[in-house]
Amino acid sequence: MKHQEIFDKAYHILIDLYAAGKPDIWCLNRFYSEKMILQESDYIRYFDLFGNIRRRAEELGEHIFVRGVADSSLIAFLLEAADPDSDPNLPFEMDFHSVFLENIQLGVSRRFFKEARKMICDYMADKAIVTLKGDDDISLTWLCFLEKSESKDAVLSIKNNAQLFENLPRITLAPTPTLDKYREIETVTGVKMDDAYGGDKDVFSALADGELDGIPNINTEIVKKLFQTFKPQDYDDMLKLIGYALGSCIGDNQSEKPLAECGFPLSNVPVFREDMYDMICEKLRDRGFYEVGLAYEVAQNTRRGVYARKGLDESTRQALLSLGFNTEFCSYIEKVTYMFPKAHAASYLRDAIAMMWYKLHYPDEYSRIFMNRSEET
């Protein structure tokens, strides 16, 4: 399908979401802002393709996840490429780099891996596809796309050729055993993950108390320690603590110290790259500046650990101080070596909430599936 046809498809879905056929100005502005970026690459095709894959997975009772810009994109949400619970309010601009590189990751259950791979190859058949894979047929796989005039289809070893192809447009297809376990717990309990939890206060209390044994993705000592230290009061607190644990700070990245010393209450700590961007944008707008270059530069440099390696340059430090940030804030971003993406952390927390519900309500089944086997991700 051609780019404009996909944009038209997404636009008509947006119109249909509104009874009067008139989306509010925020939605239209966001839609066209994303289109302005996406129309320059094949990324929009990935969204259309992943919507097809997600619908097929749901038909089969399988689970998938998409990593990258999709979970912060309104257009991806409209095309069903994004998780249905994703947040299209997140700043799409923070993932410019992945759009321009045309790289995206799709995680699928092992049972669904081969069908997902075939769907990708069929959809992208107008391209020459160089497949980089491991020895196992179901293993981490790069599907790299070139023009047919430049190459032929080929299958190569990812171990020996990854560096050669790392800058090509590609879909990284990742077999994820945890997703097979999600299907298994749904099958044995008869309860879908979407129906688990339901506002159960015991679920939140168990998570907040750090009872994380057997909970995928967040069952680590640092998450337990952070929860016990900061005592999360709500979903947002929990999300920030998970994001901090999955990111890293200079020195002991398994320490809560940089978080405690950043000069902000937990609710305002810029743990995620998107939070950093939004926080600086808000300060700029308050001063009458609507260009976002400073916010983007600081957020990107912080998430990549540039300031941790080289220090905060004096002009940027003075700009942040003039916007009202304090010296503790500047010291904090000089400790950050990596900032985790918010949408990724949110998907981990959504899954953790559902898994804790199963663990509390079906302890025997949960223990058999998630706690009596070697850890898999």
Residues 284 and 317 in one domain: yes
What average pLDDT score do residues 21-32 get?
86
Q: Are 95 and 339 in contact (CB under 8 A)?
A: no
Percent of the chain with pLDDT over 90: 61
In a domain, 189, yes or no: yes
Residues 111 and 139 in one domain: yes
In a domain, 227, yes or no: yes
In a domain, 154, yes or no: yes
In a domain, 231, yes or no: yes
Write down the pLDDT at residue 215: 96
pLDDT at 375 over 80: no
Residues 224 and 282 in one domain: no
Backbone φ and ψ for 199, nearest 5 degrees, come out as: 80, 15
Residues 22 and 119 in one domain: yes
Domain boundary pick from 157, 175, 193: 175
Residues 303 and 356 in one domain: no
For 311-342, the pLDDT digits (tens) are 999 999 999 999 999 998 899 899 899 998 89
The structure's pTM equals 0.87
What average pLDDT score do residues 266-280 get?
87
What average pLDDT score do residues 19-45 get?
86
Produce one character per residue of 34-43: b if its CB has 16 or more CB atoms within 10 Å, e if not: bbebbeebeb
Residues 292 and 202 in one domain: no
Write down the pLDDT at residue 262: 59
The DSSP bridge partners found for residue 64 are 108
What average pLDDT score do residues 347-365 get?
95
In angstroms, the CA 262 to CA 247 distance is 15
Residues 6+ apart with CB under 8 A from 299: 94, 273, 274, 276, 277, 280, 339
Residues 235 and 358 in one domain: yes
Residues 34 and 148 in one domain: yes
Residues 123 and 166 in one domain: yes
Q: Are 116 and 108 in contact (CB under 8 A)?
A: yes
For 164-178, the pLDDT digits (tens) are 898 899 999 999 999
pLDDT at 141 over 80: yes
Write down the pLDDT at residue 269: 80
In a domain, 126, yes or no: yes
For 199-237, the pLDDT digits (tens) are 788 999 999 999 999 999 999 888 998 888 888 988 999
Domain that holds residue 161: 3-175
In whole angstroms, how far apart are CA 355 and each of 85, 86, 230, 366? 16, 18, 22, 8
Residues 346 and 330 in one domain: no
Domain boundary pick from 118, 149, 175: 175
Write down the pLDDT at residue 65: 93
In a domain, 29, yes or no: yes
pLDDT at 252 over 70: no
In a domain, 333, yes or no: yes
Write down the pLDDT at residue 90: 80
Residues 125 and 227 in one domain: no
In a domain, 376, yes or no: no
Average pLDDT of every residue of the chain: 89
Domain boundary pick from 175, 203, 223: 175
Residues 138 and 68 in one domain: yes
Structural domain total, the chain: 3
